[in-house]
Structure 1
Amino acid sequence: MVELQLILLASIGVISLICQWIAWRLRLPAILFLLLAGILIGPGLGILEPDALFGEMLFPIVSLAVAVILFEGSLTLKFQELREHGKMVRNLLMSGVVVTWSIGTIASRYLVDLSWPVATLFGAIVVVSGPTVIMPLLRSVRPNARITNILKWEGIVVDPIGALLAVLVFEFIVSSGMSKSLAFEHVLQTFGSTLVLGVVLGCSSGYYLGRALRSHWLPQFLQNAGTLTFMLGIFAFSNFLVHESGLLTVTIMGIWLANMKGVPVEDILEFKESLSVLLISALFILLAARMDLSMATALGWNALWVILILMLVARPLSVWLAAVKTDLSWQEKTFLGWVAPRGIVAAAVSALFAFKLEQAGHADAGALVPMVFLVIVVTVIIQSITSSPLAGLLKVKEPDDNGFLFIGANAVARNLAKAMIGKGVTVILTDTSWENVRAARMDNLPVYYGNPVSEHAENNLDLTGVGHMLAISPYKQLNTLSTYHYLDLMGVGSVLGLPEGDQDVRASHQSSEKYVRTRNQFDEGATFAKLASLVSKGATIRTTQLSEEFTYEDYLQLHGNRLTLLFAIRPDKQVVPLGRTDAKPSVGWEMISLIQPEPNPEGLAQSSSS
C-alpha cells in the first residue's frame, strides 16, 4: 500500500514534467496538458484518486500551494508600474469584479440551471484571472507596456479579491438558516475582519521580514527557506484568526516586500520559481483528477453559452466601464476586453467550495468544478490562439523586435549598448554582477539584475522590441546556458555570441550545429578577452555612416588593422553582425566597430631611437 502511494506521488511529478516539456516544445500553455493529464489518469482511467491518496490533507495542501504561488506573483508587483495605469487597475478590481460577478451569476443561473446560491458562487469564482496563465500569454503576444502592466497587476491582485468574494458568498450560503439581516451582518463582519486583518498582518509581516532580510539577521543559506517558512506560517495564522483570509494577507505581504528598499527580492524569487512550477503542475493534475465527468457532460452546450457570455459580454463591459476617464485608446480597451484567461486560483477555489457545499447538502454543487474547469480550458485555448493576431490587427503590439538582449553589462557591453542605442536600436543589458549593473544604471542604460535564464527573468525581464541576443559576458558557462535558452525563444539567426578562440575549434565536435553557428558570425579574433583588453587600452566603439563619397572600402582603408568589425545597421534598421558573414555594407549602412587609438607619433619616435 505504501509503495503504491509512493509510485502515485512520484508519477504526479513525472507527468507534470512531461506536460511542461510538451507545452514548451509546442509553445502552448502548460495548463492545457496538465488538465488533460489529470482528467486522463483520474476519472478517465481511474488510476489517481486524490481524495483517497491525501485524505483530509488534500485541501490544506492545495491552500498552501496557492499561497506560495500568489506570494511569488506579488513579489513582482512594483508600484512604479502603476504610475500611469493605477486608476484603470483600481477600476478593474472594483467595478470590473462586480460586473463579471453579476453577469456570471445570471448566465449560469438561467442557462445551466444552477441554484441561486451555487450560481452566485460561480460568478464570484470566475472574476479571477491568474499570473500562471497571463504571464506566458503576455510573453508570447508582446502587447505594449500599458497593456502588459495592467494585465499583470490585475492577474495577480484580483486572485485574492476573487477568493475573498467567494468566501463571502459561501459564508452567506451556509448562514442561510439565519434571518436575512443576520446573514448579511455575518457577511459584512467576515468581509471587514478579512480586509483589516489582511492589510494589518500583511503589511506588518512584510515589514519585519524585509527588515530581517535587509539586516542579514538570517545567514544567506537560510534566507530562502526562512522566507518560505515565515510566509506559510503567516498564511496559516491569518486563516486561523479569520477563515480564508490568508491569501489576501500573503499577497499584501509580497507587495510590501517587493516595494521595500534594500530587500534582496531577486534571490527569493529564484528559489520560489522552481517550487511554483512544481506546485502549479501538481495542483492542476490533482484538481482535474477529482472532476466528475458525468457532471461535465450533463451541463451540455449551454455551458459553452455561459463561457461565451463571460468572454464577449462580461469582460468587454467591465473593461470599458473601468476605462472611463482614462487615456487608453479604443484599441487598447478592445484588447484588454478580450484577454482574461482563468488559472489555478479559480480551479482551487471551485474545488474547495464545491466539496464544502456538497457536504452542506447542495446537490448541484458538483456542477461547480466542471463549469469552472470548462471556463479555464476554453478561455486559455481561444485566447492563446487569437490574442497575437488580434494585437497585430489592433496595432497594440510592441514595435519590430530588432532590439538586442546583452548577456553581460561589462565595459565592452556598455560601450556597444551606448553606440546601438544612439542609433535607435533597443538594447537591454543583463548581469549577475551588482557592480556592472550599477555602472550601467549610472550610464542610464536599461539593465536587468539577475540570472537571464531564470523564470524570474521570464516574468520580469521586459523584452519589448527585443528579438536578438548577444552573449558578451566573460562567464563562458552563462554564455552557453543563455545561448541554448534563447535559441528556443528567438531562433538560430537571432542568437549571437563572441568567438571563444581556440576553444571553438577544440569543442566544435562537442556542440550542436546550432550552437556553433552562433559563434561563427564575428571575426575569429573578436573574442571577449581581446575586446576587453582593447577597451582597457583606450579603444572605443564608434558608429560611421557609409556614403557614395565614403565607401566600405574607404572605411577599411582608413582604419586598417586598428579596426575590429562588430555590427552594421542597414537602412531598414535591421542590425547584422560583421566579420565572417556574407554581409556587404553599402551606401546608407552605419558601421559599428571597435577602433583602437592611433599610435602616438612621439611614442613611436622614442621607441625607434632607443
Structure 2
Amino acid sequence: MNESALFAIAAIGLLGVACQWVAWRVKLPAILFLLLAGILLGPVTGWLDPDSLFGDLLFPLVSLAVAVILFEGSLTLRLDEIRGLERVVRNLVSFGLVISGTVTALAAHWLVGLDWQLAALFGAMMTVTGPTVIIPMLRTVRPNAAVAKALRWEGIVIDPLGALLAVVIYEFIISSQGTGAVGHLLATFALILLIGGGLGMLAGHLLGLLLRHYLIPEYLHNVATLSTVFAVFAAADHLAPESGLLAVTVMGMWLANMKRIPVEAILDFKESLSVFFISGLFIILAARLDLGQMLRIGWGALGVLAVLQLVSRPLKVWLSTLGSPLTGRERVLLAWIGPRGIIAAAVSALFALRLTELGYADANRLVPLTFLVIIGTVVLQSLTARPFARFLGIAEPEPRGLLLVGANPVARMVGRALQKRGFQVILADSYWEHVKAARMDGLSTYYGNPVSEHADRHLDLIGIGRLLGLSPQGDLNVLAAQYYRRELGQQSVYTLPTSSDSEQRRHKHTVAAEFRGRPLFGADVSYRKLQSLLSQGAEIRTTTLTDSFGLEDWRKQHGARALPLFAITPKGALRIFTADSETRPGSDWTLLALTLPDKGGEQEAAAPP
C-alpha cells in the first residue's frame, strides 16, 4: 500500500513536469495538459483515486498548496506597479465581483435549475480567476503591460475575496433554517476580515523586520518564510474558518511593499514551489471528476459557460473600467480573459461534500458544473487569447531582441550587425561618449547602469529575450547576468570575460561559472581579444551556407582569420555561439563571423588573449 502510494505521488510529480514541458514546447498554457492528464488518470482509466490516496489529508494539503500559490503571487504585487490602474483593480475586485457573481447565479438558477441558495453559492465561487490560471496564461498570451498588470492583480487579490464571499453565503445557507441568519452572516464576514487581514499584516510586518535587520541568516530565508506562511494560514483558519487565504495574501502584499526587504531569493523559491503545486493540484483535482455527473448536468451547463464568457465577464469589465486610461482594445481583451482555477475547484469540492451531508441533494452538482466551467474557460481562452491579442494589436512581440551591456566599440559592432539582420537591440552604458556614438549609429540605447533602480523602472524590455554582457568590466557583466536571469531565464543570459588568463588564474580570480551566465563566442574569447581583432580591421561578415558549402568548408576557407559569433536559421531564429553550445549550422543558415581582412597570404597578427 505504501509503495503504491509512493509511486503514485512520484508519478504525479513527474507527469506535472512533463505537462509543463510540453506546454513550453508548443506554447500553450500548461493547464490544458494538466487537466487532460488528470482526467485520463482518474475518471478515464481509474488509475489515480486522490481520495483513497490521500484520505483525510487531501483537502488540508490542497489548502496549504493554494496558500503558497497565493502568497507567491501576492509577493509580486507592488503598489507602484499599478499607478493609473488602481481604480480599475479596485473596481474589478469590489463591485465587479458582485456583478459577476450575481449574473452567474441567475444563469445557474435559470439554465441548470439550481435552487437560489446553491445558485448564489455557485455564483460566488465563479467570481475567482486566480494566479493558478492567470499567470501561466499571461506567459503565453503576452498582452501589453497594462492588461497584464490588471489581470495579474485582479487574479491574485480576488482569490481570497471570492473565497470569502463563498464562505459567507455557505454560512448563510446552513444557518438560514434558524433565527438570526443575517446577524450570523455579518458576524462571520467581519470576523474573517478582522482575523485574516489583521494576522496577515502583523505576520508580514514582523517577518519583514526580521529580514531587514538580518536577524534570520540568509540560508534560512526560504524555509523560515515557507514555515511562516503555513503557520499564518493554519492560525487564521483556526481562529476564523476560511480566513487563511486572506491572511497569506495580505501577508505577501505587505511584505512586497515594505522598503529594503530582500524578497528576490524568496520569490525565486516560492515561484518554483508554485509551479510544482499548480501542476500537482490540477492533476489531483481533475482526477476526482465524475464524468457521468458532468454528462447528466445537460446542455444548460454550456449555457452557463456562455453567460460567463459573453455576458458576466464583459459586463463586469465594462463597468469597472469606465473612465479608466485603458483603451477600448485593452478593455476588450481584459473582458475576454477570465479563466477559473484551483480556488473554484477546491472550494466547490469542499462545500459540495459538506452540503450533501446536510441533506442538500443538488449540492453534488456543484463540482461537475464548476469543473465544466474551469475546463471550458481554460480551453477556450488558452486557444484564442493569444491570436485575439495579436488581432487587437496589444500583444507584446515575441522576445527576439537583445539587451547589450555596454555601448563600447565591440558592443556597437555586434549591435549594428544584429540590427541589420532585423533583430531589436538595446545598448546600455553609463559612459556618455559610448552612448552618443551608439546613437549616431542608429542604435537604441539606455544611458545609465543597466542594474540600477532607474533602469528597473525605465528600461523598456518589451520584445527583449536575451542579454549579452559585452562590457570590458567583467564584474558588471556578471552582475547584469544575475540581475536579469530571473526575468529572461538562465539559458538566455550570456557574458564575455575581460581576459582569458591561465587556467589556474581563471579559477583563482574569476567568478564561478554558475553566476557568469553562458560564455559568449568561446572559452578563449575575451573582450580584450575582440577589441584587438577590431583594431586590426576585423568586421562582421555574413555567409549563407549551402549543401555544397557547409560549416566545415567555411572553416577551411577562413581558418583562424574568422570567429563565428551568430547563426540565423532559415526561419529567422538567432543562435549564439558559446563555449557550451552545440550549434551546427546547416544549409540555408546565415553565419555571422568576426573576420580579419585577407592580407594576401601575409601572416596575420596574433590577437592577445
Q: TM-score, normalised by structure 1?
A: 0.74
The SS at the match of 1:263 is coil
Checking the alignment, whether the CA contact within 8 Å between 1:409 and 1:440 is kept in structure 2 is no
Checking the alignment, whether the CA contact within 8 Å between 2:125 and 2:347 is kept in structure 1 is yes
**More displaced, 166-175 or 108-117?**
108-117
Q: What is the aligned partner in structure 1 of residue 44 from structure 2?
A: 44
Aligned CA distance change for structure 1 residues 237 and 488 (closer, same or farther; 3 Å): closer
The 5 A counterparts of 1:406-555 are 406=404, 414-415=428-429, 418=435, 439-440=449-450, 444-446=454-456, 463-470=461-468, 472=470, 527-528=526-527, 530=529
Question: Following TM superposition, by how much is the alpha carbon of 1:61 offset from its aligned partner in structure 2, in angstroms?
Answer: 0.9
Question: Following TM superposition, by how much is the alpha carbon of 1:305 offset from its aligned partner in structure 2, in angstroms?
Answer: 1.4
Q: What is the aligned partner in structure 1 of residue 352 from structure 2?
A: 354
Q: What is the aligned partner in structure 1 of residue 3 from structure 2?
A: 3
Whole-Å separation in 2 of the counterparts to 1:35 and 1:15: 11
CA displacement, residues 78-113 of structure 1 (integer Å, 9 cap, x when unaligned): 000121100000001112101110011111111111
Identical residues among aligned pairs (%): 47
CA displacement, residues 422-445 of structure 1 (integer Å, 9 cap, x when unaligned): 98866799xxxxxxxx94355943
Checking the alignment, whether the CA contact within 8 Å between 2:101 and 2:123 is kept in structure 1 is yes
Checking the alignment, whether the CA contact within 8 Å between 1:213 and 1:263 is kept in structure 2 is yes
**More displaced, 97-106 or 355-364?**
355-364
**Which of the residues 213, 220, 223 maps onto 1:222?**
220
Whole-Å separation in 2 of the counterparts to 1:9 and 1:222: 27
The SS at the match of 2:429 is helix
Aligned CA distance change for structure 1 residues 202 and 95 (closer, same or farther; 3 Å): same
Q: What is the aligned partner in structure 2 of residue 104 from structure 1?
A: 104
Whole-Å separation in 1 of the counterparts to 2:440 and 2:145: 22
The SS at the match of 1:51 is helix
Whole-Å separation in 1 of the counterparts to 2:435 and 2:57: 56
Whole-Å separation in 2 of the counterparts to 1:220 and 1:359: 48
Aligned CA distance change for structure 1 residues 497 and 225 (closer, same or farther; 3 Å): closer
Question: Following TM superposition, by how much is the alpha carbon of 1:194 offset from its aligned partner in structure 2, in angstroms?
Answer: 0.8
CA displacement, residues 5-40 of structure 1 (integer Å, 9 cap, x when unaligned): 222222221222222222222221111111121122
Aligned CA distance change for structure 1 residues 400 and 266 (closer, same or farther; 3 Å): closer
Aligned CA distance change for structure 1 residues 476 and 262 (closer, same or farther; 3 Å): closer
Aligned CA distance change for structure 1 residues 134 and 531 (closer, same or farther; 3 Å): farther
Whole-Å separation in 2 of the counterparts to 1:184 and 1:233: 31
- Aligned AA (1:199): G
Checking the alignment, whether the CA contact within 8 Å between 1:407 and 1:479 is kept in structure 2 is no
Aligned CA distance change for structure 1 residues 246 and 409 (closer, same or farther; 3 Å): farther
**Which of the residues 269, 281, 290 maps onto 1:292?**
290
Whole-Å separation in 2 of the counterparts to 1:184 and 1:440: 57
Aligned CA distance change for structure 1 residues 176 and 526 (closer, same or farther; 3 Å): same
Checking the alignment, whether the CA contact within 8 Å between 2:406 and 2:429 is kept in structure 1 is no
The 5 A counterparts of 1:168-187 are 168-179=168-179, 182-187=180-185
The SS at the match of 1:581 is strand
CA displacement, residues 323-349 of structure 1 (integer Å, 9 cap, x when unaligned): 122222211111111111122222221
Say what the alpha-carbon RMSD is for the aligned residues: 4.2
Q: What is the aligned partner in structure 2 of residue 32 from structure 1?
A: 32
Aligned CA distance change for structure 1 residues 488 and 393 (closer, same or farther; 3 Å): farther
Aligned CA distance change for structure 1 residues 355 and 566 (closer, same or farther; 3 Å): same
The 5 A counterparts of 1:9-158 are 9-158=9-158
Whole-Å separation in 1 of the counterparts to 2:173 and 2:19: 38
CA displacement, residues 506-555 of structure 1 (integer Å, 9 cap, x when unaligned): xxxxxxxxxxx9966x9x997345469999xxxxxxxxxxxxxxxxxxxx
- Aligned AA (1:364): D
CA displacement, residues 125-162 of structure 1 (integer Å, 9 cap, x when unaligned): 11111222222322333322211111110011011111
Structure 2, unaligned runs of 5 or more: 412-426, 502-517, 535-562, 567-572, 578-589, 596-609
The SS at the match of 1:361 is coil
Whole-Å separation in 1 of the counterparts to 2:520 and 2:451: 29
Question: Following TM superposition, by how much is the alpha carbon of 1:415 offset from its aligned partner in structure 2, in angstroms?
Answer: 2.4
The 5 A counterparts of 1:164-313 are 164-179=164-179, 182-313=180-311
Checking the alignment, whether the CA contact within 8 Å between 2:84 and 2:325 is kept in structure 1 is no
The SS at the match of 1:440 is coil
Checking the alignment, whether the CA contact within 8 Å between 2:564 and 2:591 is kept in structure 1 is no
**Which of the residues 585, 589, 592 maps onto 1:581?**
592
Q: What is the aligned partner in structure 1 of residue 540 from structure 2?
A: none
Whole-Å separation in 1 of the counterparts to 2:280 and 2:407: 38
Checking the alignment, whether the CA contact within 8 Å between 1:403 and 1:425 is kept in structure 2 is no
Q: What is the aligned partner in structure 1 of residue 544 from structure 2?
A: none
CA displacement, residues 212-243 of structure 1 (integer Å, 9 cap, x when unaligned): 11112111211110111011101100111101
**More displaced, 203-212 or 397-406?**
397-406
Whole-Å separation in 2 of the counterparts to 1:426 and 1:269: 31
Whole-Å separation in 2 of the counterparts to 1:62 and 1:89: 27
Structure 1, unaligned runs of 5 or more: 430-437, 449-460, 504-516, 536-563, 568-573, 585-610
Whole-Å separation in 1 of the counterparts to 2:489 and 2:193: 46
Aligned CA distance change for structure 1 residues 299 and 518 (closer, same or farther; 3 Å): farther
Question: Following TM superposition, by how much is the alpha carbon of 1:502 offset from its aligned partner in structure 2, in angstroms?
Answer: 9.3
Whole-Å separation in 2 of the counterparts to 1:266 and 1:366: 43
Whole-Å separation in 1 of the counterparts to 2:181 and 2:141: 45
- Aligned AA (1:273): E
Whole-Å separation in 2 of the counterparts to 1:90 and 1:479: 36
Checking the alignment, whether the CA contact within 8 Å between 1:303 and 1:371 is kept in structure 2 is yes
CA displacement, residues 446-490 of structure 1 (integer Å, 9 cap, x when unaligned): 489xxxxxxxxxxxx98423255435585899989x99x979999
Whole-Å separation in 2 of the counterparts to 1:421 and 1:98: 52
Whole-Å separation in 2 of the counterparts to 1:583 and 1:534: 8
- Aligned AA (1:415): D
Checking the alignment, whether the CA contact within 8 Å between 2:405 and 2:428 is kept in structure 1 is no
Aligned CA distance change for structure 1 residues 442 and 64 (closer, same or farther; 3 Å): closer
Checking the alignment, whether the CA contact within 8 Å between 1:71 and 1:250 is kept in structure 2 is yes
Aligned residues: 508
Question: Following TM superposition, by how much is the alpha carbon of 1:580 offset from its aligned partner in structure 2, in angstroms?
Answer: 6.2
Q: What is the aligned partner in structure 2 of residue 339 from structure 1?
A: 337
Whole-Å separation in 2 of the counterparts to 1:258 and 1:406: 29
**Which of the residues 316, 319, 322 maps onto 1:318?**
316
Whole-Å separation in 2 of the counterparts to 1:216 and 1:140: 38
Whole-Å separation in 2 of the counterparts to 1:370 and 1:422: 63
**More displaced, 279-288 or 244-253?**
279-288
- Aligned AA (1:35): L
Aligned CA distance change for structure 1 residues 531 and 95 (closer, same or farther; 3 Å): farther
Aligned CA distance change for structure 1 residues 394 and 298 (closer, same or farther; 3 Å): same
Checking the alignment, whether the CA contact within 8 Å between 2:16 and 2:34 is kept in structure 1 is yes
**More displaced, 67-76 or 438-447?**
438-447
Whole-Å separation in 2 of the counterparts to 1:101 and 1:581: 58
Question: Following TM superposition, by how much is the alpha carbon of 1:392 offset from its aligned partner in structure 2, in angstroms?
Answer: 2.4
The SS at the match of 1:129 is coil
- Aligned AA (1:193): L
Checking the alignment, whether the CA contact within 8 Å between 2:405 and 2:450 is kept in structure 1 is no
**More displaced, 101-110 or 23-32?**
23-32
Checking the alignment, whether the CA contact within 8 Å between 2:403 and 2:464 is kept in structure 1 is yes
Aligned CA distance change for structure 1 residues 421 and 269 (closer, same or farther; 3 Å): farther
Whole-Å separation in 1 of the counterparts to 2:54 and 2:158: 29
CA displacement, residues 55-96 of structure 1 (integer Å, 9 cap, x when unaligned): 111111111110010000000000001211000000011121
Whole-Å separation in 2 of the counterparts to 1:298 and 1:112: 11
Whole-Å separation in 2 of the counterparts to 1:575 and 1:418: 25
Checking the alignment, whether the CA contact within 8 Å between 1:95 and 1:321 is kept in structure 2 is no
